[in-house]
Amino acid sequence: VTFNVTFNVTLRHRTALRAGEEPRCMSWQTTGTKGCWTPAGCTRVGGDALRSICACTHFSTFAILTAIRPITESFALMVVTYVGMSVSLVCLFIAIITFLLCRSLWSVSVTLHLQLSICLFA
């Protein structure tokens, strides 16, 4: 015998919905050590601009997610990230070499800066 039990969850929005925003009832699904939001098992059955009523078939962590357009990764942001990270690693490597080779400036402060640079590089 299989029982299909559905219960309603009412979730309040942080801000009122604007025109064009479509709220979706989502639940947190864990797979191994990772997790993601999924619409499986929950559907929006009512509500207004301030609340959503979700009909769900399982107990979990629930949320209302809204997006006005599909979320895509920005190519410019990716380029800035990789260029910035590369320049930072080169500069940290130069700093580490400088701290190691300038023994005449050796002090507790230089030692601390060397260790900090190694940690940031790692």
> What is the residue-level pLDDT of the chain in tens, covering all 122 positions?
666 777 888 888 888 877 777 788 888 888 888 888 888 888 888 888 888 888 888 787 777 767 656 667 788 989 999 999 999 999 999 999 999 998 888 888 889 999 999 999 99
pLDDT at position 117 is 95
DSSP 74: -
- Other C-beta atoms within 10 Å of 115: how many? 12
pLDDT at position 70, please?
62
Which residue ranges make up each domain of the chain?
2-66, 75-120
Helix (H, G, I), strand (E, B) or coil at 14: coil
CA distances in angstroms from 110 to 26, 30, 89, listed in the order given: 52, 46, 19
The dihedrals phi and psi of 70, each to the nearest 5 degrees, come to: -60, 140
Arch. (CATH architecture) of 2-66: Sandwich (2.60)
